[in-house]
Amino acid sequence: MDIEFNKNEDINKQLVYELKTKLKKVFLGGGEKAAAKQKEKGKMLARERVKFLIDDDKPFLEIGAFTADGMYEKEGGCPSAGVIAGIGYVSGKQCMIVANDATVKAGAWFPMTAKKNLRAQEIAMENRLPTIYLVDSAGVYLPMQDEIFPDKEHFGRIFRNNAIMSSEGIVQIAAIMGSCVAGGAYLPIMSDEAMIVDGTGSVFLAGSYLVKSAIGENVDNETLGGATTHCEISGVTDYKHPNDTACLESIKSIMSKIGSAENAGFNRVKSVLPKRKPEDIYGILPENREKQYDMHELLDCMIDAGSLDEYKAGYGQSIVCGLARIDGWAVGIVANQRKVVKSKKGELQFGGVIYSDSADKATRFIMNCNQKKIPLVFLQDVTGFMVGSRSEHGGIIKDGAKMVNAVANSVVPKFTIVIGNSYGAGNYAMCGKAYDPRLIFAWPSAKIAVMSGASAGKTLWQIQSASMKKAGVEITKEEEDKQIKAITDQYDAQTTPYYAASRLWVDGIIDPMETRKVISMGIEAANQSPIKKRFNVGMIQT
């Protein structure tokens, strides 16, 4: 191994260490005091419930662990947006699990809580995953109700999705394991089955205080909406359980009896280990986002050994396309090449840039994968499309539009991993969040923005300094450098994967070593949802 490899390895392992340290903190939820209060009530913590529910020998793919990270600081923060979500296996069946964390503001719903729940439902609906809700929530966080209650993608959309999922035959099971108040009461009752834990679970449209102020009735919460009331008087809930453990065992039992899902028919053979050790990724990926590397070397650490059939290898080389296998699953790879390449016409092409020929190649390849019913995997390290008069005269906008069109209209499942840069229209063409990837995850090395911090700093300063000069303000070189640095630093803070993950622009940040697992679990989920829509790109620019 050379010095550069070792240097890269040290930096990337440090990034992964920081990731794991941040996750440990997030996993504490609302902290030890809040956890102790839940324990005093005889309740399991949200993460304990999820761990007890899922199969021991299977992985759990968490969605949105960093949601709301660094947000709502005036309110005391909201780790993971107060809810745990992810794809796991229950009695051998792959499911979406959504669990309120009552240690975080009593499980109250913040704006990002709604967004995260909707993302979990979106994944479940796209992949027809049975969905299990572990409900323990005080309802909408009232001081922010205007940001969570009335709009299309707000709180009410969740119950709309409950109804749509039910109509489409997607199994939903809800367990009321704590408070379930007001509008939130509809979620478990709109599920196929609702169970409730005696003594700790309660569900009502209005709690005892509101009932007293509204109609003057004196009634305690247990009589109003406890387990006995709803299992023996109102008939609202279907099963009553003495404790959390019994409730979760009941869910396992029900899940063991549901019928098998339909099969989409994606091809899978026996898994083969990659040609290179997956941990070599740490040494191959440069510690600096502007440095070159060969994407083929990274692919050797991720795809099944010997499985790559590269498409148009000598043409449009700034994007690597090819059929391959990941954990046995057939996939179509679309990956940005990060080293400088030379076309047969003698043109030098920068790594990470999409040129007309590479856009044309990728468009055709994406269409081919739709024709063959092969899921697509996008590996992003893109600085954008090529600019300048030569590219504009060559029709780069037209060629980029073709690629965006093919990505947007693809009917096969798409999976996106943001390895490094994800800038500008390159983010769109390489299946960014707006293009409906079934899953989109980032490595700790990712950068997501309109352009790099350095480019943005200089561009924004040019605009700012022009205004200052127009106003007659003289600018020294020292002042210029200071201002550019301040602008760049502020901009860079918004390009980190953590900033993106906190806002759910990506589903999470993963150790690069987990990439195969994420894609494999994602395709396994997608394989439960047969493709019904015909592939049609509409008008293609020629």
539: helix, strand or coil: coil
Decide if pLDDT at 383 tops 70. Answer: yes
| The pLDDT value given to residue 35 | 95
Decide if pLDDT at 399 tops 90. Answer: no
| The pLDDT value given to residue 122 | 98
Decide if pLDDT at 4 tops 80. Answer: yes
Q: Which two tokens stand for residue 130?
A: 């049975």
Q: How far apart are the C-alpha atoms of 507 and 448, rounded to whole Å? A: 13
CATH assignment, 31-257: 3.90.226.10
Q: How far apart are the C-alpha atoms of 364 and 403, rounded to whole Å? A: 8
Which has the higher per-residue pLDDT, 235 or 338? Answer: 338
| The pLDDT value given to residue 41 | 92
For β-strands 376-382 and 329-336, DSSP reports them as: parallel
| The pLDDT value given to residue 506 | 98
Of 8, 7, 110, 15, nearest to 509 (Cα)? 15
- Domain segments of the chain: what residues? 31-257, 278-446+506-527, 452-494
Query: For 454-468, what is each residue's pLDDT tens digit?
Result: 666 677 667 777 777
CB contact at 8 A, 371 and 331: no
pLDDT-based confidence at residue 183 (cuts at 50, 70, 90): low
* Number of neighbouring beta carbons within 10 Å of residue 244: 23
CB contact at 8 A, 432 and 382: no
| The pLDDT value given to residue 151 | 84
Q: Is 288 exposed, middle or buried (0-12, 13-18, 19+ CB in 10 A)?
A: exposed
Decide if pLDDT at 44 tops 70. Answer: yes
pLDDT-based confidence at residue 163 (cuts at 50, 70, 90): very high
Q: How far apart are the C-alpha atoms of 143 and 141, rounded to whole Å? A: 6
Decide if pLDDT at 1 tops 60. Answer: no
336: helix, strand or coil: strand
| The pLDDT value given to residue 145 | 82
Mean pLDDT (the chain, rounded): 91
Percent of the chain at pLDDT exceeding 90: 69
Domain 278-446+506-527 falls in which CATH fold? 2-enoyl-CoA Hydratase; Chain A, domain 1 (3.90.226)
pLDDT-based confidence at residue 207 (cuts at 50, 70, 90): low
Q: Do domains 31-257 and 278-446+506-527 have the same CATH topology?
A: yes
Question: 5-14, 129-138, 404-413, 475-484: which has the minimum mean pLDDT?
Answer: 475-484
| The pLDDT value given to residue 182 | 66
| The pLDDT value given to residue 388 | 65
Cα angle vertex 443, ends 438, 448, to 5°?
A: 80
| The pLDDT value given to residue 480 | 73
pLDDT-based confidence at residue 343 (cuts at 50, 70, 90): confident
Which has the higher per-residue pLDDT, 329 or 141? Answer: 329
| The pLDDT value given to residue 453 | 62
Single-letter residue type at 111: P
Question: 307-321, 332-346, 391-405, 492-506: which has the minimum mean pLDDT?
Answer: 391-405
Q: Is 284 exposed, middle or buried (0-12, 13-18, 19+ CB in 10 A)?
A: buried
Q: How far apart are the C-alpha atoms of 391 and 385, rounded to whole Å? A: 9
Element (H, E) at 87: strand 83-90
Section 66-74 average pLDDT: 95
The secondary structure of the chain in percent helix, strand, coil, rounded to multiples of 5, reads 45, 20, 35
Residue carrying structure tokens 């309740």: 43
Beta strands per DSSP E along 92-163: 93-100, 131-137
Section 198-223 average pLDDT: 77
| The pLDDT value given to residue 144 | 84
Query: For 255-270, what is each residue's pLDDT tens digit?
Result: 999 999 899 999 999 9
Section 209-215 average pLDDT: 71
Percent of the chain at pLDDT exceeding 70: 94
Question: 35-39, 381-385, 474-478: which has the minimum mean pLDDT?
Answer: 474-478
Give the best-scoring range by mean pLDDT among 90-94, 228-232, 388-392, 475-479.
Answer: 90-94
Q: Is the whole model's pTM more than 0.85, yes or no?
A: yes
Beta strands per DSSP E along 386-468: 414-423, 439-442, 447-449
